[in-house]
Amino acid sequence: MNRLPRWLVPALVAPPALGLAVFYLWPLGTLVARVVRPGSIAEALGAPGIARVLWFTLWQAVASTVLTLLVGFAPAYVLARYRFPGRRALLAAVTVPFMLPTVVVGAAFLALLPASWHGTARAVIVAHVFFNIAVVVRLVGAPWAVLPTDLTAAARTLGASPRQVLRHVVLPLLRPGLWAAGTVVFLFTFTSFGAVRLLGGAANPTLEVEIARRATQLGDVDGAAVLSVLQLAVLAIVVWWSARWQRRATVQFHGADSTRRARSRSQRRQVASVAAVTAVMMATPLAVLVSRSFRLGDGWSLRAWRTLGSAEVRPGISLGVDPIASLATSLRFAVVAAGISVTVGGLAALGISSARRRGRLLDVGLMLPLGTSAVTIGLGMLITFDTAPVDWRASWWLIPVGHALVATPFVVRALLPVLRSIPADQRAAAATLGASPLRAWWAINVRHLRRPIAGSAGLAAAISLGEFGATTFLTRAGSETMPIAIARLLGRTGEIPRAQGFALATILLVTTALIIAVAERQGVLDARDA
């Protein structure tokens, strides 16, 4: 094993543990404390319209989940079972949207869907399906890829038609994967914020949007707190229930990968048509987003792009959102958030890999922000850091700290396996050459860690660039991030702000896609699945 000296471990673990306690556990505790008050729950739930919000949140999540499973099934099948030219590209086309900022996906569907769809539940659900197909392809595709081909062949020779094979053999054996995918998609769509904010309109608020509205527009922080805690409870129940179900239904295959080339003409036709439809489905919204940034009225125009640098729409009339300034702000926050995540995540990973059992506690603790909705994190910080001596709401750094909270677990996940796999005898070898233990450790680990650190820094930057939910609560006029600016621009009437919103979303799309591509080459993205 690759352990550091014992006395060093507490020093390594302290900063991440402290950061987690101050910026996650404390705000969450404050939030819960606000709720534990006689009458608060009845009051919040009794508020007019709350039943409708709950109902909409639930049914759109269920509908999105079912539709995503249905739409994602064919691509999952083709990508899991067949090797074909362009397979890697298709896999990327399916996976990338999942990592795009929700605001970019929202903007893309705003650009794609006809005006009559704007502000409807349909628009929200369609965007959710697009966003989450990756989850089905990954979580259903993984068990499908190792399902032995001969098992379905055996069913065929016993007289089962292809449909019967699907129903009586494939589906029962994929059930754990389907459950896992369904659960993840449900959790994402139940807590969806960015896409709903842009596409759902005032008539279709999810719980998440309602929490933000109450806290930031109505000033009803207590009501918002009650709803966040209610949401946390629902999520916890769903996760617990699903985990129980999944454990019951798991069948393990020690089989090898059954991915192979299509043999018969009908198989080839099937693969080609599914791949083509999937590619078009995944590429169209993003392509339309880019093209709409160049359209004004009925013609093509560069005006939206040329006016990105100023907040003025007409001479003297300012919108209060400066797109280029938001780009600068976002980049600055992204660099800071990436720095914090890599430092804190790096220390945590070192501590966890060197500590024995107690390291696990920190590992799980650092994962918690991922299971908490962005709006809950933002709201918790908003109500916690508003009184002296922690009146940090006016401090610009609170936003990148919030981003780092969400990005750090990815850094830890990327670094831990590498740290654990560095063989101890390399260190011993260096030590016999006369290096002190710390020097030896440093010399060896730095070489192994350079790539995963670079990759996960990029990933952290991408997460920071796209973060919308928590930022909504912490943002201040004049220092909007790109997602906030995009949402503002697209919320305005008038063609130019709209086209500017699409242009800014295009910049965010391209930046994020580039960062993802670089991170992918560092091999850190697989860690994201884990």
Partner 1 sequence: MLATRDITVRFGERTVLDHVSLQVATGEVVALLGPSGAGKSTLLRVIAGVLTADGGSVWLDDRDITALPAHRRNIGLVFQDEQLFPHLTVAGNIGFGLRMQGIARALAAARVDELLHLIGLTAFANRPVTQLSGGEAKRVALARSLAPRPAVLLLDEPLTGLDRDLHDRLAGELAALLRATGTTALLVTHDRDEAVAIADRTITL
Q: Which residues bind partner 1 (CB under 8 A)?
A: 148, 150-151, 153-162, 164, 168-169, 172-173, 251, 253, 263-264
- Residue number, 151 or 287, with CB nearest to partner 1: 151
C-beta neighbour count of 501 within 10 angstroms: 29
Closest contact distance (angstroms) between CB of 81 and partner 1 is 14
Q: Which residue carries 């709401």 as its tokens?
A: 393
CB of 259 to partner 1, least distance (A): 15
Coil, helix or strand for 247?
A: helix
CB of 146 to partner 1, least distance (A): 12
* DSSP H helices in 385-494: 398-421, 424-432, 437-466, 469-474, 482-491
Residue with tokens 């100023």: 310
Strands (E), 151-304: 260-261, 295-296, 299-300
Nearer Cβ to partner 1 (172/423): 172
Q: Give the whole-angstrom CA distance, residue 274 versus residue 137.
A: 13
Nearer to partner 1, 157 or 493 (CB): 157
Question: Least distance to partner 1 from the beta carbon of 172, Å?
Answer: 5
Which residue number, 161 or 318, has a Cβ lying nearer to partner 1? Answer: 161
Per the structure block, which two tokens stand in for 318? 């300012």
- In the complex, the smallest distance separating the C-beta of residue 229 from partner 1, rounded to whole angstroms, is 40
Find the shortest distance in angstroms from Cβ 83 to partner 1: 12
Residue given tokens 């780009």 in the structure block: 327
Q: Which residue has the tokens 């709409």?
A: 292
Q: Output 58 or 145, the one with its CB closest to partner 1.
A: 145
Per the DSSP assignment, residues forming a β-bridge with 295 are 300
DSSP H helices, 323-423, are 323-354, 357-371, 374-384, 398-421
Is residue 331 classed exposed, middle or buried when 0-12, 13-18 and 19+ CB atoms within 10 A define those classes?
middle
Q: Which helix (H) or strand (E) holds 313?
A: strand 312-314
Q: How far apart are CA 399 and CA 464, in angstroms?
A: 9
Residue closer to partner 1 by CB (options 105, 147) is 147
How many residues are present in the chain? 530
Rounded CA gap, 436 and 54, in Å?
61
Nearer residue to partner 1 within complex by CB, 150 or 386: 150
Nearest-approach distance from CB 87 to partner 1, in angstroms: 17
Residue number with CB closer to partner 1 (26 or 84) = 84
CB of 260 to partner 1, least distance (A): 10
How far is 445 from 435, CA to CA, in rounded Å?
14
